Amino acid sequence: MRILQLVFTIWLAGASLCTPAAAAEDRQQLRAPVMLANVYHPGIALAEYWVSEKYDGMRAYWDGQQLLTRGGERIHPPAWFIAGWPQTPLDGELWTGRGQFSATVAIARRQNPDDAAWRKMRYMVFDLPAHGGTFDQRLLTLESTVRAMDLSWVQAVRQSRVGDHPSLQKMLAAITKEGGEGLMLHRGASLYRAERNDDLLKLKLHDDAEAQVLAHVPGKGKHQGRLGALLVETAAGQRFKLGSGFSDAERAAPPPVGSWVTYRYRGWNDSGIPRFASFLRVRADMSGAPR
């Protein structure tokens, strides 16, 4: 009888470790400790910031041994892609070119890497999470680290100073016209902290944000029998319906419940709901909290 009780106790302990709550906790612990960006706003001291292009790729965190998404999922590149990488962590973006977000994510999410597809991939490095110094100091070390790697597909993101806000807007217009997504602004005196604050800012011609799909709302009228809208929730807990911006194919096969989507909007109404929200794309590179 004592043996049976012992076996039951061991089984019960193992079962408790496999509960959804425990699994969620494990995923939380795996989440890459990345720095997150606020949206650019007037009034910042522009002279304190470095400015770079915002690459429309997939955030990838090198922990010294493997590449991870910001949600903590392992990325499986070919062995040659990460051969010779340093043991120190790197923060960057997997990128195959402007306007190629979907293609980049499709390549990066394959469990069995497509060697030919990865030949098109670049790793755009923009920070050194474990350095300990300010961004001004990290930037110098980052550039020397990438030079020492001497790999054509690993590049340090070009950083520059912008003298005034009209020049910043002019730079944004030029990059957007060439197919770029926008700009990133990084405070030179900032330390690397895995949180969202004004040390890192993003600037685009159109505001956008992420939300998680909670449910599919059936369509009516011309959308009878397919998606009418998505019920979504932001990371702050704000819920609203996202009903525009979908193609016929996306309404027929909508983003699954639990996935994250990016939407465009124009400010907020009095209740905090984004105004004129429109579906932009699925964020297939996300799990957990948004960037």
> What is the DSSP secondary structure assignment for residue 172, as one 8-state letter?
H
- Report pLDDT digits (tens) over 144-195: 999 999 999 999 999 999 989 999 999 999 999 999 989 999 999 999 999 9
- What are the start-end ranges of the H helices in the chain? 2-17, 20-30, 79-82, 101-108, 115-118, 135-149, 165-177, 248-252
Q: Which helix (DSSP H) or strand (DSSP E) does residue 136 occupy?
A: helix 135-149
CA proximity to 31, closest of 212, 211, 194, 260: 194
Q: Is the pLDDT confidence value at 60 over 80?
A: yes
**Identity (one letter) of the amino acid at 184?**
M
Model confidence at 84, pLDDT cuts 50, 70, 90, reads: very high
Are 257 and 209 spatial neighbours (Cβ–Cβ below 8 Å)? no
pLDDT tens figures, 5-38: 443 333 333 433 333 343 333 333 356 789 999 9
In the residue annotation, 222 being an active-site residue is answered as no
Q: Is 216 helix (H, G, I), strand (E, B) or coil?
A: strand
Every domain of the chain and the residues it spans = 36-203, 207-282
Token digits of residue 84: 């010779």
Task: Select from 152, 159, 154 the least CA-distant residue to 138.
Answer: 159
CA 224 to CA 227: how far, in whole Å?
8
pLDDT, residue 142, reads 97
Structural contact between residues 172 and 166, judged by C-beta atoms closer than 8 angstroms: no
pLDDT, position 186: 98
Q: Is the CB of residue 31 less than 8 Å from the CB of residue 69? A: no
Residue 202 pLDDT: 94
Say which DSSP state 164 is in: S
Taking a C-beta distance cutoff of 8 angstroms, is the pair 35, 250 a contact?
no
Yes or no: say if 172 and 203 are a contact pair by the CB < 8 Å rule.
Answer: yes
- Predicted confidence at residue 286, as pLDDT, reads 60
Per-residue pLDDT reduced to its tens digit, 231-281:
999 888 889 999 999 999 999 999 999 999 999 887 777 777 887 899 988
In this prediction, residue 287 carries a pLDDT of 53
Give exposure, 119-132, as e/b (b: 16+ Cβ within 10 Å): eebbbbbbbbbebe
pLDDT digits (tens, 9 = 90+) for 107-157: 999 999 999 999 999 999 999 999 999 999 999 999 999 999 999 999 999
- Domain at 36-203: CATH code: 3.30.470.30
Write down the architecture of domain 207-282 according to CATH: Beta Barrel (2.40)
The Cα–Cα gap between 209 and 231 comes to: 15
Per-residue pLDDT at 271 = 75
* Beta-bridge partner residues of 154: 123
Residue 8's pLDDT is what?
35
Question: What is residue 281's predicted lDDT score, i.e. its pLDDT?
Answer: 87
pTM beyond 0.85: no
The runs of H, that is alpha helices, within 50-114 are 79-82, 101-108
**Options 54, 120, 170, 241, the catalytic residue:** 54
Residue labelled with tokens 């997939």: 58
pLDDT at 83 over 70: yes
